[in-house]
Amino acid sequence: MKIGIDACTWVNRRGYGRFTRGLVQAMVNACPQHDFTLVVDSTMARDASFPARTHLHVVQTSERQATAASADGSRRPADLLRMGRAIGALDVDVFLFPTSFSYVPVFGRTPVVTVFHDATAEMHPALIFPRAVPRLLWTIKSHLARRQSRRIVTVSENARAQIAHVFGMPVGEIDVVSEGADPIFQPVSDSAAEATNVRAQYGLPSEGALLLYVGGLSPHKNIDGLLRAVAALPPSLSPWHLAIVGDVANDTFLTCAHALQAQARAPGLAGRVTFTGFVPDDQLAALYRASTVLVLPSFSEGFGLPVLEAMACGVPVAVSNRFSLPEIVGDAGVLFDPDSAPDMTQALSRVLGNEDLRAMMRAKGLQRADAYSWRRGAERMAQLLERVVAPSGAAA
């Protein structure tokens, strides 16, 4: 089977990019019987490296497509036309968009499959788009993607139910391809020395509890609620510090970075919060392992990959009780109401103040993380694409 894949989000530093890279690499490794063509714009072809055994099809565009599709941007019609025509002209049996974020209408008869990671933009539009025009363009793009796609895919059972409800679709028309943690995210033997080094590298205290947030700095991530919650942690707890890992300067999504940095300078927080900026995966794995607990307070998540990565590293997790997060965590983490800073404070106090609980969470988290892998997701996606192609008579 000849598979075309949109790789325009390959260098994206958030969930869309991680999903695209993880899934494509796993598909290439797990499915040597298939042929893969990655479609990228001309700017990305210069700046990224791609897996061996893939073909690269470069489309000349006036700007990087993943940036143009950002929360406050719009792609130029000429670029959309070039991308859509180029994809339609490919010699492939099926074409996959790993995220609806970078979808373009495809001109031709090639069957299309699109991944909708969640319906957050539809449920919380004001938290995703700063202006009405990008919001409208997203709505149109999403509608066209649903109409053109032979199958809709998402990343969790909760996201599946959410998408079915928001878009009025039968649940049976949506497939689930879950995510996985990269092998770099695992426990190591010399964790104490590693923790000392990585804490020093990012200007974090050498001792005391380290709370970690990993993800975007968008409004729906609820980091302002996290800051209110940690400010109220009881003085009886051991000294703590919060590290917020996320792209401060170059995020293509709506960001609250400056407001959050100002909030972190308030009494009770000043000197206890560090914004690390973007952290590459090898150092991110070390930061996970150096942490006492990962906190994900989001109002909405389609999957919540940082939670899986943290559990794979043996780190306790405390997460929002909304949408996909309880599904991914199972009984391995502590849940809280993201709308209630006191509830979040209580949950964090419980984890920070109980070493036996943390030990149990570490063990359960490692077991839970083993239930997910990119290889399983890749095999599931390949089977789905084969079913899409089979009715047309193409060889799988």
Whether 73 and 134 have beta carbons less than 8 Å apart is answered as yes
Q: What is the pTM of this model?
A: 0.94
Same-domain pairing of 143 and 261? no
User: Which are the contacts of 259, defined by CB distance < 8 A and separation ≥ 6?
Assistant: 224
Residue 186 lies in a domain: no
Say what the pLDDT of residue 303 is. Answer: 98
Answer whether 227's CB lies under 8 Å from 264's CB. Answer: yes
User: What pLDDT shows up at residue 360?
Assistant: 98
- The enclosing domain of 91 has a CATH number of 3.40.50.2000
Task: Specify whether 27 is located in the same domain as 169.
Answer: yes
pLDDT at residue 33, rounded to an integer: 96
- In this structure, are residues 309 and 181 in contact, taking their beta carbons and an 8 Å threshold? yes
Q: Are residues 34 and 98 in the same domain?
A: yes
Q: Is 53 left (phi over 0), alpha (psi -120 to 50) or beta?
A: left
| Whether residues 363 and 378 fall in one domain | no
Examine the domain organization and report whether 388 and 349 are in the same domain: no
Neighbouring C-beta atoms of residue 204, cutoff 10 Å = 20
Would residue 31 count as lying in a domain?
Answer: yes
* Statement to judge: residues 102 and 125 lie in one domain: yes
In this prediction, residue 13 carries a pLDDT of 83
In a domain, 243, yes or no: yes
The whole-number pLDDT of residue 130 equals 80
Query: Comparing C-alpha atoms, which of 320, 294, 315 is closest to residue 365?
Result: 315
Domain assignment of residue 299, given as a range: 191-369
Residues in the chain: 396
For residues 224 and 345, membership in a common domain is answered with yes
Q: How many whole angstroms from its chain centre is CA 26?
A: 16
Q: What is the pLDDT of residue 75?
A: 75
Shared-domain flag, residues 146 and 210: no
H-assigned helices in the chain? 15-30, 42-47, 65-68, 77-89, 120-123, 125-128, 132-148, 157-167, 191-201, 223-231, 257-263, 281-290, 305-312, 324-329, 341-352, 355-369, 374-389
Listed in sequence order, the residues at least 6 apart from 193 whose beta carbon sits closer than 8 Å to its beta carbon are none
CA 249 centroid distance within chain: 18
pLDDT per 10-residue tile (average), the chain, 396 residues:
96 90 97 97 81 94 66 74 96 97 94 97 88 88 96 98 97 97 94 95 97 96 98 94 91 85 96 97 97 98 98 99 97 98 98 98 98 98 96 48
Asked if the structure places residue 351 within a domain, the reply is yes
pLDDT at site 222: 98
Tell me how many domains the chain contains: 2
